[in-house]
Structure 1
Amino acid sequence: MKKLKKLALTSACFAAFFFAKEASASTIHEVKRGESLWTISKHYGVSVIELKKQNKKRDSFIFPGEKLVIPSTISPSEKDLLARLVHAEAKGEPFAGKVAVATVVLNRVDHPDFPDTIREVIYERSGGHYAFTPVQNGAINEPADRESYRAVEEALAFRGLGNGSLFFYNPKTAKSNWLRSKPVTVVIGNHVFAK
C-alpha cells in the first residue's frame, strides 16, 4: 500500500511539473491598440509566418484584446552569436544589409543542404575553412552592437518571407568563381546576395 501511495504521489508530482512546464512554455500576448503581427513578431523574435500558423490565422487582421500564442524562438545565446556574426560581417553596411546577412544564416538553417541550427551553420567547415570569414579570423568573438541585434530581430520576424538568399559576398574581395556563378537575389551596400 505504501508503494502504491508513493507511486501515486510521484505520478502526481511529475504531472504537476510537466503540465506547469508545458503551460509556461507557451507565451500568451494580448494585442494592444496599434500593434500588428509584424511588430509583435519583431518583439518576440519569431517569424510572422510562424505566428500566423500558431494562431491559425489566414490573414493578418488582429484586434486589441485578442490573445495570441507566441511560438518558440531562438535562444538568447543563438541570438547573441548571430548578432556577433552580423556585426563582424556587415560592419559599415546599411541596416538592410545587416538584416540580409542574418537572413542568410536563417535560410541556411531552414534549407536541407545546411546544418539545422544557427551555431552549426555559423561554425560549419568545408575544405578546411569556415563558411564565414569572422569565424576564421576570430572577429566573431567581438561583442555585437545594438543595430546588429535589431537586424537579427528583423530577420527573425521576416523569416520565410524573403527571396531565399543562401550566400553573400563582396565582389571586390571574393575569389570563388563558384560563388559568383550563383543567381543573384539582391545587392545591398558592398554585398551581393545569392541563392
Structure 2
Amino acid sequence: MSTPLSWLARVSLCVAIALSSVVAVPANAETQPRENTKTGSSKVSSTDLQCLSEALYFEARGEGSQGQRAVAEVILNRVDHPKFPKTVCGVVNQKGQFTYRKTRIREQGAFVRAQKIATTALQGGPRNLTKGATYFHTRAVRPSWSRRFERTAHIGSHYFYRSDRRLAAN
C-alpha cells in the first residue's frame, strides 16, 4: 500500500471502531419505530440517529454540547408537535426549515460528538434547555417569525422560540 492509502485505511478503521463503541444500534434498527421517551426504551432507529446527527453537525457543530443538545431538543419537540412531521428525518428534511445543505462531513471528531448527543436525545435524555422551543436561529439573522413567537432561551449563538405562544402585535 502507498503511504496515503495506508494512512486512510488506518484512519477509517479507527473511526469505525470509535463509532461502534459510541453508538450501539441494533442491526435491524431501520425497521424499528422511533424510541418512545415516555417508556424509557433505549432502542434508537439508525435512520433517526443519522438524520439527527447530521442536523446537529451541520446546524450547530461550532456550538458547545449544551448548544447542540438545545438544537436536538427543538427537533424532537417538533416531532412531538402536531404542526410538524412525525419523524426526525421528516422534521430535518422539511422544506424551508433548516438552512444547511447536506455536504461531506469533514470533521469526524465533531460528527462523533454530534452522534453522542443525538443518541442521548433519542434515548430520552432530558429536554430542559429550551422550555419547549420549536424554532431557533443564529444571532446573525432575524427571521420575520421571531417577532411573533416567545423567545425561551439564548444558548451560544442561537436564540430559541416557542410557537405555541404568540406575542401580541401592537
Using the size of structure 2 for normalisation, the TM-score is 0.64
Residue equivalent to 1:194: 161
> What RMSD over aligned residues (CA atoms) do the two structures have, in Å?
2.4
| 2:114 corresponds to 1:154 | no
73-82 or 158-167: bigger deviation: 158-167
Residue equivalent to 2:3: none
Instruction: Report the secondary structure of 2:159's partner residue.
Output: strand
Using the size of structure 1 for normalisation, the TM-score is 0.56
| Residue in structure 2 matching 1:138, options 102, 109, 118 | 102
| Residue in structure 2 matching 1:170, options 122, 135, 138 | 138
Q: Deviations over 1:137-193 (max 9, x none)?
A: 334x5376111012112323335656211011012223x221243211111110001
Residue equivalent to 1:113: 83
Q: 1:122 and 1:152 mapped to 2: Cα distance? A: 13
Instruction: Report the secondary structure of 1:133's partner residue.
Output: coil
Higher Cα Rg, which structure: 1
CA distance 1:86–1:99, shift in 2 (3 Å): same
Identify the structure with the greater helix proportion.
1
The alignment of Structure 1 onto Structure 2 pairs a total of residues equal to: 124
Return 5+ residue gaps in structure 2 as ranges. Answer: 1-27, 29-34, 163-170
- What is the correspondence of 1:1-195 to structure 2 with a 5 Å cutoff? 47=37, 49-51=38-40, 71=41, 73-125=43-95, 130-134=96-100, 137-139=101-103, 142=105, 145-156=111-122, 157-158=124-125, 163-174=131-142, 176-195=143-162
Aligned partners of 1:106 and 1:159 also within 8 Å: no
The amino acid across from 2:54 in the alignment is R
Instruction: Report the secondary structure of 1:50's partner residue.
Output: coil
Q: Deviations over 1:92-135 (max 9, x none)?
A: 1111000111111111000011110111111112xxxx21011x
